[in-house]
Chain A
Amino acid sequence: MENQNNSEIENPKSEILHVPTMSQMVAEGKQPEILFWVGCAGSFDRRAQKITRNICKILQHVGISFAVLGTEESCTGDPAKRAGNEFLFQMQAMTNIQVLDGYGVKKIVTGCPHCFNTIKNEYPGLGGNYEVIHHSQLIQQLIDEGKLKTEGGQSFKGKRITYHDACYLGRGNDIYEAPRRALELLDAELVEMKRCKTNGLCCGAGGAQMFKEPEPGTKDINIERVEEAAATNAQVIASACPFCMTMLTDGVKQIQKHIEVLDIAELTAKANGL
């Protein structure tokens, strides 16, 4: 997969994704370099599915051997834990750990900061020890190793892009630079919102809010956030979390602004014509 042929670059839609599952790999006696933990949003949410495919395209493009769990993947338990259902969380965690250990998984990349945080920080105490990275960190690594460039794709030169920090990447795990590194490579004009990095404002979906109506208030949090993004005159809001993606996309629609909301993986893939 490392060498893309020209027709695929010209017409990226024709590219066929080759994504094996762990069980297929094992049946062939192979062990992938890394497991791609897709997450529930990445699997089922229409918008997030696009991000998932882009992460796969990047992995394929640089020639990393990877696999997914497919139907064997299950919720990490993050929303259950944040909502106070520790039983359900630990049930999910221990079942997932059994599956992961069964396949001898060592390294995991996730498409979601919530899955990332849970597997990286909360699974070790329950016996699940893996090297876990978020896809923005993977992209940063690939850039730093010179494996990922911006060539052959859409140019973002001069475009105003603002990055929205996901809570569970930023404050939750001190990852502020990796996603920004991916954006720097685009040669775009990076603008920061007033509340960014450690001061970043939540999109409103964390802590299981994604799965409930917000409590009564004067405003929805995502509106507060997209208004702030709009104030930067950015043409693109970059995000790195499928929940933020939903909240920001809804917000932009509601305030009727023409701002694109794109994941770091999508921007990277576009810039490389993937």
Chain B
Amino acid sequence: MAAQIIFIIILAAAVYLFAKNAGRVRRNILLGKPEDRSDQLAKRFMVMLKVAFGQSKMGKRPLAAVMHFFIYVGFIIINLEVLEIMIDGVFGSHRIFAAPLGSLYGLLIGGFEILAILVLVACLVFLARRNVIRLKRFTGVEMTTWPRSDANYILITEIILMTAFLTMNAADHKLQLLHYGHYIETGKFPISRLLSPLLPEGPATLVITERVCWWLHIAGILSFLNYLPYSKHFHILLAFPNTYYSKLQPKGEFDNMPVVTNEVKAMLDPSFMPENIPASRFGAKDVTDLTWKNLMDAYTCTECGRCTSVCPANITGKLLSPRKIMMDTRDRITEVGNNIDKFGKDHTDNKSLLDDYISREELWACTTCNACTEACPVNIDPLNIITQMRRYITMEEAQAPASLNNAFSNIENNGAPWKYSSAERLQWLDE
């Protein structure tokens, strides 16, 4: 009974804390500017199904794709086991699904065990890629101590969870063979039975082992849940809404700013009645100038670095790293959110995404080639943030690089980015 009460208290606390912290992330995302992405429901749903659920963009890197798939399927399917653990925990039962499912139960547990060992192997491979082989993709200026530790914590936690799960089963299986207490036989335990020789023989120590691993497994899962909102691992949840709200237009299409359309139309046609659009700064200086989708992108980023590894600017040694753009955006909006919590809504810290986080040199290195957006497995769009920040620099500050300002004045004066007169536009005919 005491165990049940403790379990319920831990569960309730974990769910409450998670809801609170996830709610804070949601509030931070909604600090962004409005943008309507409520159209084309069916198409959006299909994109989500394909890209997030079906992992369609992972396949470009086959080894990572297979390993990630193990962990992903493991996560989803082993959650059925977690459901049983929850019910057992609340009602004080033991393997409550065993009786109603009969022989199917044994098969399911067997399946979970195979997945668990695959997850374990995948996590070990991933740890090795980051810490032993040190793949270039997992390094870079933005991969400071915290992001690197974050990745390792996640992998180590998953290894602990899977080990606890398999050890729990091994002890349970051994007790089942001893026909001890309520440990009725429930299956073959294909993986965990291999661990049996490592476990003590006495039923009392076996029960303690089983219980400790049971608690470790569920407490681990609940702690992990609460770690998510502080971690890049939040992608396991946000990947779904983030792909649902993907940009559906061709990648080459950049949005037209309605506020500019208003002004340009009024300039060209004095009788034009401007539409009512709330005035705001042109482009983005800080995170709150970005849209909620940009901010959701930032919280969805799992720092895998596929974007940076294909960025032509980054490959050739320029400062730009699309992953850094996303991480800076997330760190800044989190800072803005924390300031609101501490000092109230109108607090300003005199910092901004531009210059304090992202330098102009990074922004001007982008070729808008869309390699980053193509590479992202969860359809994050760093290019959109870069464009909005360029707009701020160019239109609000008039601080574009001098050569670009030259091109602008050429376009304005003679309709071409170069200094050629439009009267010469047909000269190619006479060559």
Contacts and interface: CB of A to CB of B under 8 A. Distances in A.
B201 interface: no
Interface string A70-96: 110111010111111111101110110
B428 A38 contact: yes
A207 B368 contact: yes
Contact of A90 (B261, B319, B320, B412): B261
Contact of A199 (B60, B257, B394): B60
Interface stretch (A145-153, A218-226, A252-260, A263-271): A218-226
A37 to B, nearest CB: 12
Given A21-B426, A43-B424, A43-B427, 18 more contacts: A44-B427, A73-B415, A75-B411, A79-B404, A84-B387, A84-B393, A85-B400, A91-B267, A94-B268, A121-B252, A172-B251, A199-B374, A201-B315, A206-B368, A208-B407, A212-B401, A213-B403, A221-B367
A88 B251 contact: no
B428 A87 contact: no
Interface string A220-247: 1101100000000000000000000000
Given A83-B400, A88-B412, A206-B368, A220 B316 contact: yes
A205 B250 CA distance: 20
Nearest to B269: A94
Contacts of B261: 90, 126
A77 to B, nearest CB: 7
A110 interface: no
Interface of B is mostly: helix
A17 B406 CA distance: 34
Contacts, number: 224
A90 B395 CA distance: 13
Interface in A185-216: 195, 198-202, 204-216
B310 interface: yes
Interface string B35-77: 0000000000000000000000000100000000000000000
Contacts of B431: 49-50, 53
B146 interface: no
Nearest to A207: B368
7 contacts: A44-B418, A73-B415, A84-B391, A87-B264, A90-B264, A172-B252, A173-B251
B283 interface: yes
Contacts of A125: 256
A53 to B, nearest CB: 6
Interface in A98-126: 117, 121-122, 125-126
B99 to A, nearest CB: 52
Given A44-B418, A74-B416, A85-B395, A79 B407 contact: yes
Interface of A: 17, 19, 21, 38, 40, 42-44, 49-50, 52-53, 68, 70-71, 73-75, 77, 79-88, 90-92, 94-95, 117, 121-122, 125-126, 167-168, 171-174, 195, 198-202, 204-221, 223-224
Given A40-B417, A49-B431, A84 B260 contact: no
Interface in B253-310: 253-254, 256-257, 260-261, 263-265, 267-268, 282-283, 310
A50 B431 CA distance: 9
Nearest to B249: A121
A113 B364 CA distance: 21
A10 B240 CA distance: 62
Contacts of A213: 403
Nearest to A121: B253
Given A171-B371, A206-B368, A71 B428 contact: no
A117 B370 CA distance: 13
Nearest to A209: B367
A55 B381 CA distance: 35
Interface of B: 60, 249-254, 256-257, 260-261, 263-265, 267-268, 282-283, 310, 312-313, 315-320, 361, 364-371, 373-374, 387, 389-395, 400-401, 403-404, 406-408, 411-412, 415-418, 420, 422-429, 431
A209 to B, nearest CB: 5
B369 A171 contact: yes
A171 B251 contact: yes
Contact of B403 (A94, A201, A211): A211
Contacts of A172: 250-253, 370
B289 to A, nearest CB: 13
A92 B401 CA distance: 21
Contact of B408 (A53, A80, A202, A218): A80
B367 A205 contact: yes
B400 A84 contact: yes
Contacts of A204: 312, 316, 367
B253 A122 contact: yes
Contacts of A83: 390, 394, 400, 404, 407-408
A122 B315 contact: no
Contact of A117 (B252, B282, B373, B411): B252
B256 A43 contact: no
Given A42-B428, A202-B312, A211 B251 contact: no
A57 to B, nearest CB: 12
A102 to B, nearest CB: 14
Contact of B318 (A79, A85, A212, A214): A214
A206 B395 CA distance: 20
Given A75-B411, A77-B411, A171 B370 contact: yes
B404 A81 contact: no
A87 B387 contact: no
Contact of B361 (A211, A216, A218): A216
A176 to B, nearest CB: 12
Contacts of A117: 250, 252-253
A259 B418 CA distance: 28
A24 B107 CA distance: 80
Given A206-B368, A215-B313, A75 B254 contact: no
